[in-house]
């Protein structure tokens, strides 16, 4: 069922609501069947898929931090074939909107994976991960250079007719330049942000807590950083559809990212703590829109309105 006011459009990508789940925090979706009605969520972003199955990094892979966590999983995944044969058909049966997250070491790897996805039925979009900080090659190496971003996105653009999302790295020297490069390369939508490179050290042994050394910081700890980045890119690139990501746990967090200029959001690390959070956020957003008699699209980018402008909402229902 599609609640009134919830559908959003991000370029060519139409979603029944703006609540998505972030890659790497939602498995292949099927793991969450007991906790949430997957067909209710705006869409799920799969675990980052590569050409071949990938084992990931040795443990220790996570370290908990104040209001968040560091991870260096290293993109462990079942590979494109197993995803297409075993996961996607079941997701299709369940009526899930699936966005395939893709990564590789080389440009050719990304292109090959995206080509392989072209023949699959039931994929709403492709999301390119050019921002993973936990692998030696690929990933963030593309995202940290605007020219490498533009080149990769253009090659992938030529290989797919599907809506193309590019997931940006907050570790890039200039996020706006990266965003511009991805857009100019042919991205339909930008998702931001991936994790921030961080580190934790055991004070007794003076060794890093994670086997990879560094890890990606996620969770509510990064939310203000992510909100600032969404706001900044929305301001610099008006008209480019954005998906906001970073420590979303409550409805107020969703509203904050929408106000900053995101048309949709991805819920990430919160899925570990509360596996039913994505479905709850859809319900809460629906109730909020019904109560205020607004559509989600009315809520997008309101932080960019001049301060003197009255907030264009019917606030009558608020007692």
Active site residues: 132
Q: Is 112 in the site for another protein (CB under 8 A)?
A: no
Q: Cα–Cα distance between 3 and 231 in angstroms, integer? A: 27
Spatial CA neighbour of 48 closest among 104, 105, 96, 118:
104
Percent helix, percent strand, percent coil in the chain, to nearest 5:
35, 20, 45
Q: Report the residue number, 6 or 221, with the smaller CB distance to another protein.
A: 221
Q: Report if residue 55 touches another protein, rule: CB under 8 A.
A: yes
The CB-of-13 to another protein minimum distance in angstroms stands at 24
Kindly report the CA angle at 74 between 267 and 81, in degrees rounded to 5?
Answer: 85
Residue from 11, 27, 79, 279 that binds another protein (CB under 8 A)?
27
DSSP for residue 162: S
Contact status: 76 vs another protein (CB under 8 A): yes
Cβ atoms of residues 44 and 98 within 8 Å: yes
Count, residues near another protein per rule CB under 8 A: 29
43, 48, 68, 138: which one contacts another protein (CB under 8 A)?
68
Q: Is 83 in the site for another protein (CB under 8 A)?
A: no
With respect to another protein, which residue has the nearer C-beta, 72 or 264?
Answer: 72
Q: Does 225 bind another protein (CB under 8 A)?
A: no
DSSP 69-92: EEE-----B--HHHIIIIIHHHHH
Show the site string, 257-286: x = touches another protein by CB under 8 A, - = not: --------------xxx-x-----------
**Locate tokens 């039931």: which residue?**
122
Q: Are strands 242-245 and 62-65 parallel, antiparallel or unpaired?
A: unpaired
Q: Select from 17, 23, 25, 195 the one that contacts another protein (CB under 8 A).
A: 25
Positions in the binding site for another protein (CB under 8 A) = 25-27, 31-32, 55-56, 58-69, 71, 73, 76, 219-221, 271-273, 275
């Amino acid at each position: 069922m599609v609640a009134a006011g919830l559908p959003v459009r991000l370029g060519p990508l139409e979603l029944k609501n703006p609540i998505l789940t972030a890659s790497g925090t939602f498995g292949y979706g099927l793991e969450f069947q007991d906790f949430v009605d997957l067909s209710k969520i705006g869409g799920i972003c799969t675990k980052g898929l590569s050409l071949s199955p990938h084992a990931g990094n040795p443990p220790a892979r996570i370290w908990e931090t104040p209001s968040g966590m560091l991870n260096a999983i290293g993109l462990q995944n079942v590979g494109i074939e197993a995803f297409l044969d075993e996961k996607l058909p079941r997701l299709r049966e369940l009526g899930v909107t699936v966005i395939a997250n893709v990564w590789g070491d080389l440009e050719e790897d990304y292109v090959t994976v995206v080509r392989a996805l072209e023949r699959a039925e039931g994929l709403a979009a492709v999301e390119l991960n050019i921002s993973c900080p936990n692998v030696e090659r690929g990933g963030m190496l593309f995202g940290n250079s605007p020219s490498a971003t533009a080149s990769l996105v253009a090659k992938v653009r030529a290989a797919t007719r599907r809506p193309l999302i590019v997931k940006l790295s907050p570790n890039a020297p200039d996020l706006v330049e990266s965003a511009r490069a991805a857009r100019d390369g042919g991205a339909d939508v930008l998702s931001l942000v991936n994790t921030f490179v961080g580190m934790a050290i055991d004070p007794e042994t003076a060794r890093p807590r994670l086997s990879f050394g560094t890890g990606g910081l996620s969770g509510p700890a990064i939310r203000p950083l992510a909100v600032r980045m969404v706001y900044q890119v929305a301001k610099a690139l008006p008209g480019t559809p954005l998906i906001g990501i970073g420590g979303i746990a409550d409805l107020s967090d969703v509203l904050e990212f929408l106000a900053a200029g995101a048309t949709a959001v991805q819920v990430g690390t919160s899925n570990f703590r509360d596996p039913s959070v994505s479905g709850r956020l859809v319900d809460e957003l629906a109730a909020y829109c019904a109560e205020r008699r607004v559509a989600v699209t009315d809520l997008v980018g309101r932080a960019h309105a001049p301060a003197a402008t009255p907030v264009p909402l019917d606030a009558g229902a608020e007692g």
